[in-house]
Amino acid sequence: GAVVSQHPSRVICKSGTSVKIECRSLDFQATTMFWYRQFPKQSLMLMATSNEGSKATYEQGVEKDKFLINHASLTLSTLTVTSAHPEDSSFYICSASLPTGIGYGYTFGSGTRLTVV
């Protein structure tokens, strides 16, 4: 249980275009979703925290106009990389906090490899 499905797993896009990444909680309601970015051979860096129905809270240095996060429902959160450039190429992972009824902790999506050419 407590699965987060993340799509797509890989995407290649042209520079200047936008890409949307989706994360769906399949069997629970995700009140809070976290979006991370991971560069090769590095750790996860939190980009933003989103709560259902509220604006996302972005970490310092993350461009909110470039990385649009929408958490309109308790089962879906999306990250849109707008006007993507090669430096946006990275591995993006979402994570949902588990409801207390399931147990404390977090569950992670399988990640999206974004390549901007």
**Which residues lie near another protein (CB under 8 A)?**
6, 31-32, 34, 41-44, 46, 49, 51, 91, 93, 95, 97-98, 100, 104-111, 113
- Report how far residue 34's alpha carbon sits from residue 77's, in angstroms, rounded to the nearest whole number: 9
Q: Which is nearer to another protein, 2 or 82 (CB)?
A: 2
CA distance 104 to 106: 7
Rounded least distance, CB 83 to another protein, Å: 26
Rounded to whole angstroms, the Cα distance separating 12 from 24 reads 21
DSSP code string of 55-103: PPEEPTT--TTTEEEEEEETTEEEEEE-S--GGG-EEEEEEEEPPTTT-
Complex with another protein: residue 46 or 82, whichever CB lies closer: 46
Check: CB of residue 78 under 8 Å from CB of residue 84.
no
Minimum CB distance to another protein, residue 94 (Å): 9
**Which of 18, 45 has the CB closer to another protein?**
45
CB closer to another protein, 75 vs 107: 107
Least Å distance, CB 44 to another protein, is 5
